[in-house]
Structure 1
Amino acid sequence: MHIRPSAPTMHDHHHDHRHTHAGEDTSRRLVLALLLTLAFAAVEAIAGLHAASLALIGDAGHMLTDSLALGIAAMAAVLARRAPTARHSYGFARSKTLAAFANALFMLLLIGLLLWQSIARLSDPRAVDADTVTLVAVIGLVINLVVAFMLSGHGHDLNTRAALLHVIGDLLGSIAALASGILIKLTGWMPIDALLAMLIAGLIAASTLNLLRTAMHTLMNGVPSSLSLPEVGRNLAGVAGVADIHDLHIWELDERHIALSAHVSVRDMGDWPGVLERLQARCAKAFGITHTTFQPEPAPARPLRFVPSPGAPNRKPPDGDDRASA
């Protein structure tokens, strides 16, 4: 929602929202992945019960919960395309980050459950139908490879990354079930079923924690990892006509949109329109930031030197003062 004043005010905003069909394509891929995963989860559960395989039963439960995760991701992708409203002026793009955060927590719960079941099975090994396990694992491997390929082209989207993480967990689970079936067929050693399940849980846990940390950083309005707040502050303080930059904040609206706000001490308030244009151009060209808000202020008689620290003025000394290089 854009509100344009009839005369210049002390706040100047620059927005650039690009709408493409990428969101719709992501939603379709997530829905198709959901249907494939849900269908195979039913097949795998029946086969796991028949074969008495913890690897298959666990993977079936994992795929069933992954179906829920994919459903959450698909709904978030649809919601994120809604236009901003008077109550949600930033729109709903961050719903994808919320979905990613929820799915990461859900994944940690599944990992804990799988580890608990595996430890219990190690203390009480059971006979496993290796032929059924191997056959179903091959089918699951193919389906998970197809689903992973469908989602892998959208790795920049945190929501899709969370969904893909669940699918990769299923893919590794299918590999574990396949290895379990083959090894049991060749050696008859039943504990391998539970040991492989524990190995997969450990591998998935590292990626899940990383995703959880990334989602939390975005939800807490952290500075994007690709940017340095002091570096941006020093760069903007060097724009012609700027005396200093302070109260600088940078955060992500979602993976594609970064926002910036700052107070700008201007040497000549009459030159503010030109200074604003130069600041916007610098943000876009140097950092790819197109959603900016700058508040101009008259420069003090002697601006402080640039201090690159959050919460303190980020300032550049006046022309001729060489203390900034000290």
Structure 2
Amino acid sequence: MAGGDHRLLGGALALILAFMVGEVTVGLVAGSLALLSDAAHMLTDAAALILALVAMRLAARPPHGGYTYGLRRAEILSAQANGLALLILSVVLAVEAVRHLIAPPRVAGGLVLVTALVGVLVNLGATVLIGRANRNNLNIRGAFAHIVTDLYAFLATAAAGLVIVLTGYRRADAIATLVVAALMVRAGVGLLRASGRILLEAAPAGIDPEQVGAALAGVPGVKEVHDLHVWQIGSDSTALSAHVLVNRGGDCHDTRRALERLLRDAYGIEHTTLQVDHADGGVLQIGLRRPPH
């Protein structure tokens, strides 16, 4: 599956880089800020895909030395970088768009329209490729968000080109750029929020720790569950730890297996660390024995 994801992302990267070079050239000739902003966004798309490919290779490495989880969180750092890049670039484009609203330059609407329509087709192809990859992976989801945002941006740019061709309203180019910037903010904030939850070791979205604790406590033989923690090692790997007390006479090993089955079947959590003890086990005393006189 990982090898297939690499090929899909690599194909999308090739499409984007090839079109981006042509779009920059046409944007300069047409005098279109919207096309140049789309090209800048495509540059972040390419960077996102490159980061995704590198992070996937790092995350696939086995644990070594002090990295007992391996480098799975490399993909989360990649998602953070993608989100920050989108926000920074959106501010730059928004400032430039306001300048063009105040003093709109001449724009070749026909070139803008044709190039944007080709961009729609290119992004549709890239979207199909990445959409077939494992989008449970936050890294791939981040790259997918870049591409989809760019698809909407090209549609806005095409609309601006059509308006310029039909009416000569040159400010449509700057308005389309503001739409692109807004889409980039939305995608960037979403990536930062999702990756930030993982870095802060919050419970995965859709899993309520209190509900999980109540379900564990409802397993026959369980008297109490405490010190429950649920967090994500990576975007597609959830971990859980808890201290479980079972009733006197209960089988700790059978109870632990029942709890693990529940976590796996009901919540998809397979990486578990459960300390299971009898409720009346007492407290282990550790001390030094005095030598005999």
Taking structure 1 as the reference length, what is the TM-score of the superposition?
0.81
Give the structure 1 partner of residue 103 of structure 2: 124
CA contact (8 A) 1:126 1:190 kept: yes
Aligned residues: 281
The one of 153, 165, 174 aligned to 1:173: 153
Does residue 134 of structure 2 align to residue 134 of structure 1? Answer: no
Which contiguous aligned blocks of 4+ residues in structure 1 show a shift greater than 3 angstroms?
none
Q: Return closer, same or farther for 1:263/1:49 CA change in 2, 3 Å cut-off.
A: same
> Structure 1 residue 211: deviation in Å?
2.4
Does residue 212 of structure 2 align to residue 232 of structure 1? Answer: yes
Q: What does residue range 80-91 of structure 1 map to in structure 2 within 5 Å?
A: 80-91=59-70
The one of 258, 281, 286 aligned to 2:261: 281
The one of 194, 201, 208 aligned to 2:181: 201
RMSD over equivalenced CA pairs, Å: 1.9
CA offset digits 1:124-160 (Å, max 9, x no partner): 1111112221221121111111001111233322111
Q: What does residue range 294-313 of structure 1 map to in structure 2 within 5 Å?
A: 294-300=274-280
Give the structure 1 partner of residue 9 of structure 2: 30
Quick one: distance in 2 between partners of 1:244 and 1:287? 20
The one of 33, 41, 53 aligned to 1:74: 53
Percent identical: 37
> Structure 1 residue 198: deviation in Å?
0.7
Counterpart of 1:292 in structure 2: which amino acid?
A: T
Quick one: distance in 1 between partners of 2:210 and 2:91? 40
CA contact (8 A) 2:243 2:276 kept: yes
CA contact (8 A) 2:32 2:108 kept: yes
> Structure 1 residue 292: deviation in Å?
0.7
Name the SS of the counterpart of 1:240 in structure 2. coil
Quick one: distance in 2 between partners of 1:217 and 1:88? 20
Quick one: distance in 2 between partners of 1:164 and 1:287? 25
Quick one: distance in 2 between partners of 1:52 and 1:270? 77
Give the structure 1 partner of residue 286 of structure 2: none
CA contact (8 A) 2:153 2:183 kept: no
CA contact (8 A) 2:82 2:188 kept: no
> Structure 1 residue 283: deviation in Å?
1.4
Quick one: distance in 2 between partners of 1:86 and 1:276? 30
Give the structure 2 partner of residue 160 of structure 1: 140
CA offset digits 1:180-227 (Å, max 9, x no partner): 221111111100100111123223322331222111111111111221
Q: Return closer, same or farther for 1:69/1:286 CA change in 2, 3 Å cut-off.
A: closer
Quick one: distance in 2 between partners of 1:187 and 1:285? 60
Counterpart of 1:64 in structure 2: which amino acid?
A: L
Give the structure 1 partner of residue 26 of structure 2: 47
> Structure 1 residue 249: deviation in Å?
0.4
Quick one: distance in 2 between partners of 1:72 and 1:183? 37
The one of 242, 245, 256 aligned to 2:222: 242
> Structure 1 residue 301: deviation in Å?
8.7
